[in-house]
Structure 1
Amino acid sequence: MTLQVVLAIAVFVGAYVCIVVDRFPRAAVVLVAAALMVLIGATGGETMFYSGETGIDWNVVFLLLGMMIIVGIVRHTGVFEFLAIWAAKLMRGRPFRVMVMLVVITAVLSAFLDNVTTVLLIAPVTLLVCERLGAPPTAFLIAEVMASNIGGTATLIGDPPNIIIASRGGLSFNDFLVHLAPISVGLLIVFVVLCRLMFRSAFVFHPERAARVMALDERAAITDSRLLVKSGVVVGLVIAGFLVQSLLHVEPSVVALLGAGLLALLSRLEPREYFREVEWETLVFFAGLFVMVGALVNLGVIDALGTAAVDLVGDDYGPAAAGLAVGSGALSAVVDNIPFVTTMSPLVGDLVAAGGAAARPLWWALALGADLGGNATAIGASANVVMIGIAMRNGVHISFWTFTKYGLVTTAVTVGLSVPYILLRYYS
């Protein structure tokens, strides 16, 4: 192991520790770490800004930017307040019922939208619901982002790692539905039960608050009906664009930016009115995180870990699939699952090419491990980072350990259930 590799690992671990202790601004930590990676020669300008494998994933950054602008404009219609009151009234002001409803909606939307997009849309509603009911928003936000990662596992377009796996493995939308949707539905049901246990202190019913909510007229919350109609049309077009983007060969980021530009023109709002809703710190954090991980990829650190795992596999594909699911879950807790899957998918592709049909379930093991493992820590998945950024902007602090103590339980249970699913379905 060279000195450069040792220094790069030290920088990555040091940055990770700083994020964990939560005493320094996240964006500042990753920017310093990214700069140190450049200073030690682990990465450079060209690899940071222009490499699709070891640089900043601009598709993710601009997807977030476009959707943040759209959400910022939609907020001016009052529709989030409308949905918050409607949801609370439908569930009679009972916090657990409201959580179940929001969790299920989030999971279903995440199956057909990118889970980051779903989080951006559902978080404002959640914050307003919790404010109305006097419920702690931390529990609701954490539950929803975990549900988005579980629901996003079900389809090709639900979670960014799935798109990478589909491209590498030549897998179709229907392949994901057939192989991953059944286990995703089962895991969602289990997760609802976990929510009842993990967040039980958040389900305090306040009759007086519930009564006030029941007396509200949700229709009065709509402040700009014309903008609401325009926003509905544009959001519908954006969603349709996400659903067919693979057929049109258009990146999701392009769809989001086109939608943001069109809605900005139609809204006639001053740019400052929606740009102030953009989570700039979150975007910077993502950029720095991609540089950090990209430096390790560039030096071959992650590739070496993956190769070592592949060498242990041999041709015994049942245990290999189980090990890949568990290992991917563990590594995706530490490294954002997008660059992790980008690195691992060629290795899995080689195994599948060598093993044929017997090795094909390795793709599903990788998807389950990476998608579900993203729930383990605050930086394990893109949606987690976005949700924490939204919470912080609204005065709700979710620390690394607060998220992780629930995330580790959720990941252990969901990945643990995925292993027998793989073994029983494909190797029994």
Structure 2
Amino acid sequence: MITPHYPEGVPLPDILPAVLACVIFAGAYVLIATEKWASRTAVALGGAALVLALGISDAHAAFFSEDTGVDWNVVFLLLGMMIIVGVMRDTGIFEYLAIWAAKRARGRAFPLMVLLIIITATASAFLDNVTTVLLVAPVTILICQRLALPVVPYLISEVFASNVGGTATLIGDPPNIIIASRGGLTFNDFLVHLTPVVIVLVAVLIGLCRWLFASSFRADHERIAEIMSLDERELIKDHKLLVQSLVVLGIVLVAFVFHPVLGYEPSVVALLGAGLLVVVTRVTTEQALQDVEWGTLAFFMGLFVMVGGLVESGVLGALADAVGGFAGENLLGFTSVLLWGSGVLSGVVDNIPYVASTAPVVAGLVGPDGQPEVLWWTLALGADLGGNATLIGASANVVVAGIAARNGHPIGFWQFTRYGLVVTFATIGVSYAYLLLRYFVLA
């Protein structure tokens, strides 16, 4: 039995703003899913404009509020890392890494996917998953082009790996940072409670990808022989720029890991790194900005404003409060609802605003002694893994979709979702078994 520790109830939302917010978000979601009438960016910006024009949200709530506005930390983190990646692209390092990875897998399609999944999941645990996919996706596209492999299955598998791997640590996925802040949890808490199940989930993901993308694992023996004969070192085009870029990137990655100690947000670290790289190299400002995915950044802004409308009108708060009210007498039942409900809702709305809305409810259910702590791990697993369900469920999904479209390999909403739903159901199912065993059966 658990007793709520938060004030009774959240006021019901005003009906008209709540209905309008729901209609706008649902309409935008349908347009994004059908992909027939407008681009994702146009739909998101149009929905944001309606939210503001109808007075559901205002300028302060949309642009300055931490709870209902654009998450500028995410936007500027992406901008900074896109600039760094764009500069590094001119060095030839991505071609080098592509050939290196292909040779390690000896050109075989499935071992290559396994290698990329493990690299992505591991890196996402110690960086944030958005940074990881920004670095890995360009390499993946080059590998697939060299080996005449379909690009999209490899990119989708990396998105799944980034969201699964990012679940393992406090800094791996933005929702985890919110949960740690609300719950007073440490980096080591996440390692002890979530890393064991994430290792299992990566193995499960590899098995699922072997089944889901079976038709993609074909071999072109001429291409493989050509790859194996290459010397990847010859692909480095500018050694001086490469050294400068790697030094700056190394500083940025170390700062990411130690950002709680340094006191700089990851977005600030990324922008400082981008600025430093432009200053110390011969790259012009125009060259540095030409590879920025402006459409992706605009999509995020519009999506944040629309979801902020749901928060501002009280829709998400009332929903979270209603779910929280179920918890009073049944910890196991609420754990089940929270895990699966978070998985569903994080697939529909971006998991960052979802966790920001739900964390206060969970904090109210967790007592002053920090118990039952299982609720925090339940929320993290549901929100992080649920982000794999749809193309807009997590930041990494949207970023990879933007990179893929820019390189001529667009990823459709339903193309992603038909795989994402399978992966989400399987990984949350394994997580549910883990929670039951560790916190209820063996507790």
Measured in 2, the distance between the counterparts of 1:45 and 1:159 equals 28
Aligned counterpart for 1:114 among listed residues 122, 128, 139: 128
Higher relative contact order (CA 8 A, sep 6+): 2
Deviation track 1:89-140 (CA, whole Å, cap 9, x = no partner) reads: 1111001111100110000000000100000000010000000000000000
SS at structure 2 position matched to 1:396: coil
Q: CA deviation at 1:4?
A: 2.1
Name the structure 2 match of 1:255: 269
Measured in 1, the distance between the counterparts of 2:33 and 2:165 equals 27
Residue 308 (structure 1) aligned with residue 322 (structure 2): yes
Residue 59 (structure 1) aligned with residue 73 (structure 2): yes
Q: CA deviation at 1:358?
A: 4.7
**More helix as a share of residues:** 1
Measured in 2, the distance between the counterparts of 1:184 and 1:43 equals 38
Residue 4 (structure 1) aligned with residue 6 (structure 2): no
Aligned pairs (5 A) from 1:231-310: 231-310=245-324
Aligned counterpart for 1:338 among listed residues 352, 370, 382: 352
Measured in 2, the distance between the counterparts of 1:134 and 1:315 equals 57
Residue 426 (structure 1) aligned with residue 439 (structure 2): yes
User: Bigger CA drift: 391-400 or 39-48?
Assistant: 39-48
Structure 1 residues 270, 323: closer, same or farther in 2, change over 3 A? same
Name the structure 1 match of 2:139: 125
> Which letter does structure 2 place at the counterpart of 1:48?
A
> Which letter does structure 2 place at the counterpart of 1:3?
L
Aligned pairs (5 A) from 1:15-414: 15-23=28-36, 24-353=38-367, 356=369, 358-414=371-427
Measured in 2, the distance between the counterparts of 1:342 and 1:358 equals 20
Measured in 2, the distance between the counterparts of 1:315 and 1:340 equals 24
Measured in 2, the distance between the counterparts of 1:159 and 1:358 equals 23
Measured in 2, the distance between the counterparts of 1:310 and 1:50 equals 28
> Which letter does structure 1 place at the counterpart of 2:199?
V
Structure 1 stretches of at least 4 aligned residues deviating more than 6 Å after TM superposition? none
Measured in 2, the distance between the counterparts of 1:384 and 1:194 equals 18
> Which letter does structure 2 place at the counterpart of 1:8?
A
User: Bigger CA drift: 106-115 or 20-29?
Assistant: 20-29
Deviation track 1:398-424 (CA, whole Å, cap 9, x = no partner) reads: 000000000000000000111111111
SS at structure 1 position matched to 2:258: helix
Deviation track 1:262-314 (CA, whole Å, cap 9, x = no partner) reads: 01111221222121100000000000000000010011100111111111111
- Is contact 1:82-1:219 (8 Å) kept? yes
- Is contact 1:27-1:288 (8 Å) kept? yes
Measured in 2, the distance between the counterparts of 1:4 and 1:155 equals 37
Measured in 2, the distance between the counterparts of 1:375 and 1:45 equals 31
User: Bigger CA drift: 34-43 or 356-365?
Assistant: 356-365
Q: CA deviation at 1:315?
A: 3.0
Deviation track 1:183-208 (CA, whole Å, cap 9, x = no partner) reads: 00000001000010000111001101
Measured in 1, the distance between the counterparts of 2:49 and 2:106 equals 52
Identity %: 58
Which ranges in structure 2 are unaligned for 5 or more consecutive residues?
Answer: 1-13
Which ranges in structure 1 are unaligned for 5 or more consecutive residues?
Answer: none
> Which letter does structure 2 place at the counterpart of 1:364?
W
- Is contact 1:317-1:358 (8 Å) kept? no
Measured in 2, the distance between the counterparts of 1:388 and 1:285 equals 11
Measured in 1, the distance between the counterparts of 2:61 and 2:333 equals 36
SS at structure 1 position matched to 2:90: helix
User: Bigger CA drift: 162-171 or 271-280?
Assistant: 271-280
> Which letter does structure 2 place at the counterpart of 1:381?
A
Residue 416 (structure 1) aligned with residue 429 (structure 2): yes
Measured in 1, the distance between the counterparts of 2:401 and 2:388 equals 13
> Which letter does structure 2 place at the counterpart of 1:425?
R
Measured in 2, the distance between the counterparts of 1:249 and 1:301 equals 34
Count of matched residue pairs: 427
Measured in 2, the distance between the counterparts of 1:416 and 1:252 equals 32
Task: Give the TM-score of the pair, scaled to structure 2.
Answer: 0.95
Q: CA deviation at 1:247?
A: 1.5
Measured in 2, the distance between the counterparts of 1:125 and 1:70 equals 15
Task: Give the TM-score of the pair, scaled to structure 1.
Answer: 0.99
Measured in 2, the distance between the counterparts of 1:141 and 1:415 equals 21
- Is contact 2:183-2:370 (8 Å) kept? no
> Which letter does structure 2 place at the counterpart of 1:207?
H
Measured in 2, the distance between the counterparts of 1:3 and 1:56 equals 23
Please tell me the root mean square deviation across aligned C-alpha atoms, in Å: 0.9
Measured in 2, the distance between the counterparts of 1:68 and 1:341 equals 25
Q: CA deviation at 1:357?
A: 5.5
Deviation track 1:366-393 (CA, whole Å, cap 9, x = no partner) reads: 0000000000000000000000000000
Name the structure 1 match of 2:10: none
SS at structure 1 position matched to 2:107: coil
- Is contact 1:322-1:423 (8 Å) kept? no
SS at structure 2 position matched to 1:313: coil
